[in-house]
Amino acid sequence: MPKRIAPLTDLQVRNAKAPKKEVKLFDGGGLYLSVTPSGGKLWRFKYRFGGLEKKLSLGAFPAVSLAAARQERDKARQLLAQGIDPGAARKEQQRVGQREEDTFKALAGEWVALQEGAWAPTHTETVKARLEVYVFPHLGARPVSEITPPELLSVLRRIEAKGIVETAHRVKQICGQIFRYGVGVGRCERDPSADLRGQLVRKPKVKHMAALTDRKEVAALLRALDDYAGSLVLRCALRLAPLVFVRPGELRHMEWAEIDFDTALWTIPAEKMKMRKVHAVPLSRQALAILAEIRTFSGGECYVFPSATGKGRPMSNMAINAALRRMGFTKEEMTGHGFRSLASSLLHEAGWDSTLIELQLAHRDTNTVRAIYNRAERLEERRKMMQAWADYLERLAAGQEEKIVPIRSAR
């Protein structure tokens, strides 16, 4: 006679600790609690139907109590007594009564909406684009609670097959965050991406953004920017980029309301910056001249560099890189982000104060006190550096290969 299983108690369920390997605590009648190494406590009902052993998920503790799990088990056993597979019955019920808000696409939309206030606009656009292009066509309409690790891996393998390994890893991270949000709001029981550790091709080594640093090549680049025959908006954006060396997303989201022509200062709000800090960009005489030129075209709009399609949007995030390709610069030679590397390399080479350069690049300063002091006291030094940089680029484009002369720190 088989040994009778002692029913679980609420205290046993609450006190169950995360083990090194999955542990099953049986309650009887096919019901058991699966305790995972990550600390999850998942109710399962094990049964046989058509000669096959099957399992039915009944929810996670504490959202589903011991008493509630037993009720669900009893309902499943009643279906078995009627010759009905409880797993198949649930799937049919979900198919008939599936709500749109239970799909992966709907859950992802909720999650993105919650993050937008904390993200830079460019990052938000990137996340949305990755979901739209790579995930929604395959998983968007699927009930989020039914998506399995193999299904998600299939999506990621498609991305890998395109040769964009880094993107596959990014998409996996995004999906993992969405599933974990779903667990928190009770729309799914677990994150299937957690089971895919080590399944993807190893990430490629991080490469620095392509940028020209040889003076003759930089001079040729500057002349090509001046001669660009495209739209006025793109031509001005290209000419301004090397003078301010901000990130491409910060440049294309530049607004007229952020520019003070009287003080020659562009103040970028914290929500647009990668480090979520207000960033001041001193504007050289040359930068102001470019802004005055584009002002005659877009001065009545929100964005300095508006989209060609209108609708109150900034120019495309691909516009600058596409223009560089049309001018003959490959992605291995120069990118929109490369203007930052170009400025950093040549300014460091010329002996400028590294702290000034890093501050103007808006890189994170690990010394909080020093970072506050820099932002409050070194604006005038940065003004001088930015004007010296603009003057140097002007001479370089004219064929005068003079070195930039650093100023003595004013501290």
Q: Are 307 and 316 in contact (CB under 8 A)?
A: yes
Residues 237 and 191 in one domain: no
Q: Is 206 inside any structural domain?
A: no
Q: How far apart are CA 105 and CA 132, in angstroms?
A: 9
The predicted structure's pLDDT at residue 290: 95
Is 363 an annotated catalytic residue?
yes
Is 279 an annotated catalytic residue?
no
- 398 or 264, which is more confident? 264
Is 373 an annotated catalytic residue?
yes
Q: Is 195 helix (H, G, I), strand (E, B) or coil?
A: helix
The predicted structure's pLDDT at residue 364: 55
Assign 1 a pLDDT band (cuts: 50, 70, 90): very low
Lowest mean per-residue pLDDT among 127-131, 307-311, 394-398: 307-311
Assign 96 a pLDDT band (cuts: 50, 70, 90): low
Supply the CATH number for residue 244's domain.
1.10.443.10
User: Which amino acid, one-letter code, is at 266?
Assistant: W
Q: How far apart are CA 318 and CA 229, in angstroms?
A: 17
Q: For 189-208, what is the mean pLDDT?
A: 76
Residues 240 and 357 in one domain: yes
Residues 191 and 219 in one domain: no
Lowest mean per-residue pLDDT among 15-19, 122-126, 309-313, 362-366: 362-366
Q: How far apart are CA 280 and CA 360, in angstroms?
A: 8
Percentage of residues in the chain with pLDDT exceeding 70? 87
The predicted structure's pLDDT at residue 90: 79
Q: Is 332 inside any structural domain?
A: yes
**Matching residue, tokens 């600058």:** 320
Round the average pLDDT of the chain to a whole number and report it. Answer: 83
**271 CB neighbour count, 10 Å cutoff:** 13
The predicted structure's pLDDT at residue 384: 93
Is 411 an annotated catalytic residue?
no
**Structural domain count of the chain:** 3
Q: How far apart are CA 130 and CA 296, in angstroms?
A: 36
**319 CB neighbour count, 10 Å cutoff:** 22
Residues 147 and 269 in one domain: no
Reported as a single tens digit per residue, the pLDDT across 347-382 is 888 888 888 888 888 875 544 434 444 444 588 999
Spot the catalytic one: 295, 303, 325, 373: 373
Reported as a single tens digit per residue, the pLDDT across 299-348 is 888 999 998 877 788 988 888 888 888 887 777 778 888 888 888 888 88
Give the residue numbers spanning the domain of 235. Answer: 215-397
Q: How far apart are CA 298 and CA 304, in angstroms?
A: 6
Residues 149 and 279 in one domain: no
Residues 132 and 178 in one domain: yes
Reported as a single tens digit per residue, the pLDDT across 214-260 is 777 888 888 888 888 888 999 999 999 999 988 888 999 999 999 99
Residues 181 and 67 in one domain: no
Q: Is 209 inside any structural domain?
A: no
Spot the catalytic one: 77, 130, 180, 274: 274
Spot the catalytic one: 105, 235, 340, 378: 340
Spot the catalytic one: 172, 239, 247, 252: 247
Residues 268 and 387 in one domain: yes
Q: Is 343 inside any structural domain?
A: yes
Q: For 148-168, what is the mean pLDDT?
A: 88
The predicted structure's pLDDT at residue 4: 65
User: Which amino acid, one-letter code, is at 127?
Assistant: V
The predicted structure's pLDDT at residue 375: 47
pLDDT above 60: residue 208: no
Assign 95 a pLDDT band (cuts: 50, 70, 90): low
Q: Is 408 inside any structural domain?
A: no
Residues 190 and 61 in one domain: no
Q: Is 203 inside any structural domain?
A: no
pTM: 0.51
Reported as a single tens digit per residue, the pLDDT across 99-116 is 556 889 999 999 998 887
Is 228 an annotated catalytic residue?
no
Q: For 274-289, what is the mean pLDDT?
A: 88
Is 337 an annotated catalytic residue?
yes
Q: Is 231 helix (H, G, I), strand (E, B) or coil?
A: coil
> 223-233 burial, b for 16+ CB within 10 Å, e for fewer?
ebbeebeeeeb
**Matching residue, tokens 């910060």:** 250
Residues 320 and 382 in one domain: yes
Lowest mean per-residue pLDDT among 6-10, 200-204, 295-299, 306-310: 200-204
Residues 226 and 186 in one domain: no
Spot the catalytic one: 44, 252, 337, 382: 337
The predicted structure's pLDDT at residue 99: 59
Q: Are 271 and 124 in contact (CB under 8 A)?
A: no
Q: Is 17 inside any structural domain?
A: yes
Spot the catalytic one: 48, 203, 363, 403: 363
Residues 160 and 177 in one domain: yes
Q: How far apart are CA 210 and CA 47, in angstroms?
A: 59
